[in-house]
Amino acid sequence: MQAILEFLRNLNVFMQQGSDAANWISFGGWLVALLGFALSAWSYQRHKSRDRRIELQENYLRLELESNAVFRFEAEHSLALHDYMGSTPPDYYQRLRAGEVPDEAAEESRQRLQRESIADNFYLQQLNLFEIAARFRRDGVFAPEIFGSWVIWYYDAANSWWFRDQWSSNYSDNYTDDLYNIFGPMTKLFDDVVELIGDIPSDDNDPLAKELKAIFFDHVARRFHCHIIIEWLDRKNIAKLSMIKRVLYRRNLRLQRAAWRLRNLFRDTEILHATGQRYLEKLRRSQMEASR
């Protein structure tokens, strides 16, 4: 900036004093200095952009490698995890909670506690990765498109009855506000859905399942002020558009994103509560119509 101001002052002197050889030499020197400054600034921005791309790639690779370890753990313990990944507890746990199961034999109790430990290990590994991904996204060192692909993993975890049960009783105090404010209200909403209709809608062709998933994505998007997360569920519809319509869609999207960020600033929990209540009311109406 100092070089630019000095150049403008010398340019003004040059214009006032005339165009003798000395002035031309002085002017040329400052012109070279200005070009050198511009080149240095361009080089700095180029290296900064390159370093940011490298950082984004490294963060993505790191999380992908860590997530592969979670997938291997799931494959190795698939039988033990089976009863803990569903949206509702198996009959045995429901009877155990209701006090309808007589005292377990020592071996049965040991095996159940071992399976529960495996389930805890599985979900705590995921939560650790979720927290890293959320922090990277919050700090701007994780590409929004990549983070969008992780939100479906957040959603799948919240579908688990064991995860929801342990989140409120054991997990939540160990994690930052981002995860606390995602899973706290969302696990509560999912539990309300189960209490109302006995399960969580999961059929991709079911409008109620689509709406619940959209509510989850919308809440995470508002939490991070990241409109791309909302668009993640619309990719199929966007892909069906013609090239011209896609260009127009992307063009209008920039304005929509800016307006969306301003409209929803600091209102994620308030909006989720209102949206969740409307969804539960829709489920009640659906239940009433089905019972007629």
Tokens of 100: 């309808």
- Pair 226, 111 in one domain: yes
Question: What pLDDT was estimated at residue 25?
Answer: 58
- Pair 123, 8 in one domain: no
Distance of CA 263 to the CA centre of its chain: 19
Task: Decide: 135 and 176 in contact? Cβ < 8 Å.
Answer: yes
Which residue, of 27, 42, 73, is where some domain finishes? 73
The yes-or-no verdict on residue 247 having pLDDT over 60 is no
Of 17-26, 56-65, 187-196, 246-255, where does the model show the most confidence? 187-196
pLDDT digits (tens, 9 = 90+) for 147-157: 888 899 999 99
pLDDT digits (tens, 9 = 90+) for 125-172: 999 999 999 988 888 877 788 888 889 999 999 999 999 999 999 999
pLDDT digits (tens, 9 = 90+) for 174-190: 998 999 999 999 999 99
pLDDT band of 55, cuts 50, 70, 90: low
- Pair 98, 110 in one domain: yes
- Pair 146, 261 in one domain: yes
The yes-or-no verdict on residue 255 having pLDDT over 70 is no
The DSSP string of the chain is -HHHHHHHHHHHHHHHH---HHHHHHHHHHHHHHHHHHHHHHHHHHHHHHHHHHHHHHHHHHHHHHHHHHHHHHHHTHHHHGGGSSSS--HHHHHHHTT-SPPPPHHHHHHHHHHHHHHHHHHHHHHHHHHHHHHHHHTT-S-HHHHHHHHHHHHHHHH-HHHHHHIIIIIGGGS-HHHHHHHHHHHHHHHHHHHHHSS----TT-HHHHHHHHHHHHHHHHHHT-HHHHHGGGHHHHHTS-HHHHHHHHHHHHHHHHHHHHHTTT-HHHHHHHHHHHHHHHHHHHHHHHH-
Comparison of pLDDT for 120 and 34, the residue scoring more: 120
**Cα separation, 234 vs 256, whole angstroms:** 15
- Pair 182, 143 in one domain: yes
pLDDT band of 87, cuts 50, 70, 90: very high
Question: What pLDDT was estimated at residue 50?
Answer: 56
- Pair 149, 26 in one domain: no
Number of domains in the chain: 2
| Domain housing 212 | 77-291
Question: What pLDDT was estimated at residue 51?
Answer: 57
Region for residue 86 given its phi and psi (left: phi exceeds 0; alpha: psi -120 to 50; beta: otherwise): beta
- Pair 30, 87 in one domain: no
Average pLDDT value for residue range 219-226: 86
% of the chain residues with pLDDT over 90? 35
pLDDT digits (tens, 9 = 90+) for 12-43: 555 555 555 555 555 566 566 666 666 665 55
Average pLDDT value for residue range 235-257: 59
Which residue, of 73, 101, 125, is where some domain finishes? 73
